Amino acid sequence: MAIEAHIRELSDKHAKLDLAIQNEMKSLASSDAQIAALKRQKLKLKEELENLRRRH
């Protein structure tokens, strides 16, 4: 059960990062560096999610 809760938590964070990336891309004050950092965080979460799902 704990792994399923962790997967849900990571999925929520992944979705929030996706929204943050979309908002940054729409913003006139956004920087490429900030968008790239958000995308790296999102990718890291995706990889962690995939690893958890494989083990579960």
In this prediction, residue 30 has a pLDDT band, given cuts at 50, 70 and 90, of confident
Query: Residue 1: what pLDDT?
Result: 66
Check whether 43 has a pLDDT greater than 70.
Answer: yes
* pTM, rounded to two decimals: 0.86
pLDDT at 44 over 70: yes
Mean pLDDT, the chain, rounded, equals: 94
Q: What is the pLDDT of residue 46?
A: 96
Exposure string (b/e) for 41-55, b if CB count within 10 Å is 16 or more?
ebeebeeebeeeeee
Average pLDDT rounded to a whole number, residues 24-48: 95
CA torsion, ordered 30, 13, 45, 28, to nearest 10 deg: -10
